[in-house]
């Protein structure tokens, strides 16, 4: 029986990927790395900042990598202030969730400052039983631990939840935690999401396919 809906944040609750790409493209150029959209989608999108930065800049210290991440995310918060809007159909879905007395969680690779900033900007703070921040855990997505932690906090089994994710790393994380995972095509196409393990792919939360899995019924 369905007991909870679990959501990624960036690219799932709101469109942010184009802004993240633009900032990373500009920022990494200062370090001699000129990236295009394909590189961003394959190596950066949805991943924990320190994880991919360690791979890109093996000569930098952990402190330097963290500073790059912190500076980039501060720039994101500055630019995103007036740009964030809920993904189409999200508000209706959250109202349905409350009406059915389901549990809810967010699981994100974003730093806590970003998560709090985005939820405040979207006016969505009141909907969550818990917010799982990957950087505060031993492992981030694509490791299953962040979603396993969400299950632990909600005190439910994997087959009692549905996850909504937009990135390959997030989908792999949720699938590895044995949770039914719905991919959202805000940042990657359907083939990419399915190839990473999504069981269903939608464009937004108005998609009528959600009724086939018992959501919005």
Positions annotated as catalytic residues are 8, 10
| Beta-carbon count within 10 A of 204 CB | 16
H/E segment holding residue 123: none
Token pair in block for residue 196: 């990473």
Distance between CA atoms of 110 and 13, rounded to whole angstroms? 13
Phi, psi of 209 (to 5 degrees): -65, -20
d(CA 113, CA 78): 12
The pair of structure tokens assigned to 66 is: 């963290």
Sign of the alpha-carbon torsion through 189, 192, 198, 200: positive
Q: Distance of CA 87 to CAs 3, 32, 76, Å?
A: 22, 34, 18
Residue (of 47, 60, 46) closest to 12 by Cα position: 46
Cα–Cα dist 64/68, whole Å: 6
- Location of structure tokens 């359907």: 190
């Amino acid at each position: 029986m369905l007991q909870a809906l679990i959501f990624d944040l960036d690219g799932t609750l709101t469109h942010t990927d184009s802004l993240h790409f633009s900032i990373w493209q500009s920022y990494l150029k200062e370090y001699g790395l000129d990236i295009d959209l394909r590189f961003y989608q394959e190596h950066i999108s949805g991943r924990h900042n320190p994880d991919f930065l360690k791979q890109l800049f093996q000569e930098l210290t952990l402190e330097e990598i963290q500073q790059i991440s912190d500076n980039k995310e501060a720039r994101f918060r500055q630019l995103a202030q007036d740009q964030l809007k809920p993904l189409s159909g999200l508000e209706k879905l959250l109202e349905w969730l409350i009406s059915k007395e389901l549990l809810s969680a967010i699981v994100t690779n974003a730093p806590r400052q970003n998560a709090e900033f985005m939820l405040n900007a979207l006016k969505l703070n009141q909907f969550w039983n818990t917010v799982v921040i990957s950087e505060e855990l031993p492992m981030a997505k694509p490791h299953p631990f962040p979603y396993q932690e969400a299950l632990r906090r909600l005190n439910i089994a994997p087959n009692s939840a549905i996850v909504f994710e937009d990135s390959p790393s997030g989908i792999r994380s949720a699938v590895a935690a044995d949770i039914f995972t719905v991919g959202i095509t805000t940042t990657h196409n359907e083939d990419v999401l399915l190839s990473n393990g999504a069981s269903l792919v939608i464009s937004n939360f108005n998609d009528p396919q959600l009724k086939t899995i018992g959501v919005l019924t």
